[in-house]
Chains A and B, each alone.
Chain A
Amino acid sequence: DSGVTQTPKHLITATGQRVTLRCSPRSGDLSVYWYQQSLDQGLQFLIQYYNGEERAKGNILERFSAQQFPDLHSELNLSSLELGDSALYFCASSVAGRKPNEQFFGPGTRLTVL
């Protein structure tokens, strides 16, 4: 158990819908990262938040957004869902925000778009 929690574990929804994925980082970690794992793209970095502020952005679609709240939990919002958004979404956390450091991953949320 990494100490990172993600809810829900599974999500099944229809095209055009909007969903919210939730992540709670390890106690004491200020950074939260979101990754997408799909068969065709592999593991891709989406976005990072550090202590409530966006710190780095990767291959995140405009239909996707994220935020980190004062209690440090984070939410990833996916809207206007398409079939291709079906994937495993991981949240990771780490202590630091700028320099490279080890990231601890949650169990993931499996999103299925029908």
Chain B
Amino acid sequence: AQSVTQPDIHITVSEGASLELRCNYSYGATPYLFWYVQSPGQGLQLLLKYFSGDTLVQGIKGFEAEFKRSQSSFNLRKPSVHWSDAAEYFCAVARGNKLVFGAGTILRVKS
């Protein structure tokens, strides 16, 4: 069965530092991959997606993610974190029409 693993439940980074959130998926075919962000009390906002083509995808708010088929990974990165990036981040893979989500990673930003 398709699944998504986000190994880090919590991550704390200093403001201005770089960020990498890990995501591993298990899926037999070419995956359709997504990263969403959820701020406290808010819905899910799509940061970026990968369907095909260039394995490095750019998203909103300065985020990017790289698809690595050999490692079954789709890690999210940002070169310099801002305090407003504190939120929970979800990686998801499309299984048919539905999205299968990872457990999420809570990002804390310290000043």
User: Is A68 located at the chain interface by the 8 A CB criterion?
Assistant: no
Q: Is the CB of A105 within 8 A of B97?
A: no
Q: Which of chain B's residues has its CB closest to A50's CB?
A: B97
Contact, CB under 8 Å: A98 / B104? no
A104 located at the interface, meaning its Cβ lies under 8 Å from any Cβ of chain B in the complex: yes
The docked-state distance in angstroms from the alpha carbon of A104 to that of B45 is 7
Measured CA separation A55–B98 after assembly (Å): 10
Chain A neighbourhood of B25, CB < 8 A: none
Interface contact B90-A43, CB-CB below 8 Å: yes
B99 within 8 A of A: yes
Kindly state whether residue A31 has any CB partner on chain B within 8 Å. yes
Instruction: Give chain B residues whose Cβ lies under 8 Å from the Cβ of A102.
Output: 34, 46, 49
How many angstroms between the C-alpha atoms of A99 and B94 in the bound complex?
A: 9
19 A-B pairs within 8 Å (CB atoms) are namely A33-B99, A42-B102, A43-B99, A43-B101, A48-B97, A56-B97, A56-B98, A90-B44, A92-B99, A100-B32, A100-B51, A100-B94, A100-B97, A101-B94, A102-B49, A104-B46, A105-B44, A105-B45, A106-B43
List A residues at the B interface (Cβ < 8 Å). 2, 4, 31, 33, 35, 42-43, 45, 48, 55-56, 58, 90, 92, 97-108
